[in-house]
Structure 1
């Protein structure tokens, strides 16, 4: 549903993970081998990955000022389990958090969140206000006040509902 370009940097991974399920239709992309391969996960990982996905969605909803869609494990609790290390560039001395252990998904997500925090972009990753959508999107609006993943789809639905209610 997102009518914008992908989130910048590592947030594209987070955005893509959150958007592996279509809440309206109930179709979960993680059920397909192709999507699992894209994220580097196996069927054994599905329970943990779904838990991570919904905790990320709850954080994105919070960034947009919306309550969580359901009870989830706090994201900080999940990310605290991620094996990371500090990678230092030999040439310029810059440092970043990097995934350990060949980059399991949890570590790649934790590194992406850390990078986004450093860059000041983390709070711009939001989830659509519409309960049947909650699609993750990167808010590029100047004021950072965007409410829907797509004005043409979800925004129009909300406005039409308000109009009909009058």
Structure 2
């Protein structure tokens, strides 16, 4: 798991949601009251939140050029149901997409994706190449070709496996 700084803007929410599951250990922060509270979720929200998490993970894997880790509901299908509205700032006239109602995770994620699309940062949010990890991270490399959440952990393991295979 990475020690990188959080993703910018609304992408931090997406990164945080995807990283609620530690694939290697199986620990799921959404199983805890504190983990759910950090994302504004209740136990009733869990099935939808987990479905959204894995659909996001597939999109982030695609950003890094990796195949899906499993069959999921397409992210576009899920986000199509997110109620958003255009919020206009009365002071400077700027506009952005915002959740139609405060709270629903799906709408907050959809607004974050829209913000990242406008900023050009959406495809910089990726999932680690390591099949035992798939941790979400924001790729700050100049060329945008990062492959692992952590070069010291997942990257080193991959390089060691390649070395031993030779």
Taking structure 1 as the reference length, the TM-score comes to 0.99
User: 1:20-77, CA deviations, whole angstroms, 9 ceiling, x for partnerless residues?
Assistant: 0000000111000001011111111111000000000000000000001000000010
Instruction: Tell me, in whole angstroms, the C-alpha distance in 1 between the residues paired with 2:125 and 2:102.
Output: 26
Which position in structure 2 is the counterpart of 1:99? 99
Instruction: Tell me, in whole angstroms, the C-alpha distance in 2 between the residues paired with 1:120 and 1:42.
Output: 32
Using the TM superposition, give the Cα deviation of residue 3 of structure 1 relative to its aligned residue in structure 2, in angstroms: 2.2
| Aligned alpha-carbon RMSD (Å) | 0.6
Which position in structure 2 is the counterpart of 1:84? 84
Taking structure 2 as the reference length, the TM-score comes to 0.99
Q: What is the number of equivalent residue pairs in this alignment?
A: 166
User: What's the secondary structure of 2:142's corresponding residue?
Assistant: coil
User: What's the secondary structure of 1:82's corresponding residue?
Assistant: coil
User: 1:101-130, CA deviations, whole angstroms, 9 ceiling, x for partnerless residues?
Assistant: 223111100000000000000000000000
User: What's the secondary structure of 2:85's corresponding residue?
Assistant: strand
* Unaligned stretches of 5+ residues in structure 1: none
* Unaligned stretches of 5+ residues in structure 2: none
